[in-house]
Homo-oligomer: A and B are copies of this chain.
Amino acid sequence: MPPLITLTTDFGLSDVYVGVMKGVIFGVCPDARVIDLTHGIPAQNLIAGSLALESAIPYFPAGTIHTVVVDPGVGSDRNIVIVRTESSLFVAPDNGVLTLPLILQPPKEMIKLTEAASPFLRQPVSATFHGRDVFAPVAAHLANGMPLSSLGSPCAISEVISIPVPKVEISEMNDLIELRAPILAADHFGNLVTALRRDALDSLCASVASEAPRESEVEVRVKSAIWTGVAKTFASAPVGAPVAYFGSGGRLEVAVRNGSAVMTLEALAGDFVSLQWKSKTAQ
């Protein structure tokens, strides 16, 4: 099976940057398959990059090399890390962009790039385009089977930078349970993606001695909009109406059927989706 390399950047597709990275990769590893995960990460938006990776990596074959160039610190002295998990390799700046994917796939081995990597980089390394001179050749050498130890020195997960991810809060008052899920990002359709992962719902509810609510009985609020029920899919909502559902990435999302939740609800990253339901223990 040919080695798979994915690219995630904030380069956009108007310029040659992405194409140039592929030229470098094929020069080092002619057999590689290169997949564009996305080049539409909003400029230097680490949380958006982290969410994009989280929602994508479970669907790639074991051994895939994920190359991440969302890198506001290029040219500064930030580190570059290579992380091996049970099923993936990541090459990324040490700026927290790997925070969410490494919760999903805990690190098994981790190195920081050192001078040892120099012979494998494109020389001279430019100050502004490490995607071409560092990330692309490193990913391609990894695709060729180079061991991590040839490229740097081991480091511990505690040594690398994490970004703070807004947390879901749950509270109980007067028999009413409220869960507040911060909105983390919006996608191309204007759907809102929140901090609430479905697989965290049970333990959140347990923390207030509740069970997970019936989806049909939950009251959902986003800014001034209120409606009842978490749906299986946005297809179940009337056209133009808001709908909450657990999206394909496993997170609570809010959409407007055949429309944009960003526009209709005037909601953005930093706002909240609130879920309220009656406590069963109180019934």
Assess whether B36 is in contact with A14, with CB atoms less than 8 Å apart: no
* Chain B residues in 8 Å Cβ range of A188: 11-12, 14-15
A247 to B55, CA, bound (A): 33
Residue of B with least CB distance to A76: B235
The secondary-structure label for the interface of chain A is: loop
Would you call A238 an interface residue if the criterion is a C-beta within 8 Å of the partner chain's C-beta atoms?
no
Assess whether B128 is in contact with A52, with CB atoms less than 8 Å apart: no
What is the CB-to-nearest-CB distance from A133 to chain B, in angstroms, rounded to a whole number? 8
How many residues of A sit at the interface, in one of the four size bands? 35 or more
Q: Please judge, given known A-B contacts A126-B248, A234-B75, A247-B128, whether A35 and B16 are in contact too, CB under 8 Å.
A: no
What is the CB-to-nearest-CB distance from A136 to chain B, in angstroms, rounded to a whole number? 9
Would you call A106 an interface residue if the criterion is a C-beta within 8 Å of the partner chain's C-beta atoms?
no
Would you call A27 an interface residue if the criterion is a C-beta within 8 Å of the partner chain's C-beta atoms?
yes
A36 to B13, CA, bound (A): 9
Q: Please judge, given known A-B contacts A13-B38, A16-B55, A23-B35, whether A128 and B74 are in contact too, CB under 8 Å.
A: no
Q: Please judge, given known A-B contacts A15-B38, A236-B75, whether A6 and B23 are in contact too, CB under 8 Å.
A: yes
Would you call A61 an interface residue if the criterion is a C-beta within 8 Å of the partner chain's C-beta atoms?
yes
* Chain B residues in 8 Å Cβ range of A118: none
Interface 9-residue window, one of A39-47, A207-215, A217-225, A274-282: A39-47
Which of A122-173 touch B at CB < 8 Å? 122, 126-129, 132-133
A34 to B258, CA, bound (A): 28
Residue in B40, B61, B74, B132 whose beta carbon sits within 8 Å of that of A13 in the complex? B40
Q: Please judge, given known A-B contacts A1-B30, A27-B60, A127-B245, whether A19 and B44 are in contact too, CB under 8 Å.
A: no
* Chain B residues in 8 Å Cβ range of A258: 43-44, 72
Pick 29 A–B contacts, CB within 8 A, sort by A: A4-B23, A13-B36, A13-B40, A14-B38, A14-B187, A15-B188, A19-B35, A23-B59, A23-B60, A23-B64, A24-B59, A26-B33, A26-B60, A27-B61, A43-B189, A44-B258, A59-B122, A72-B258, A73-B235, A74-B235, A75-B232, A76-B235, A126-B247, A126-B248, A127-B233, A127-B235, A128-B233, A129-B248, A132-B248
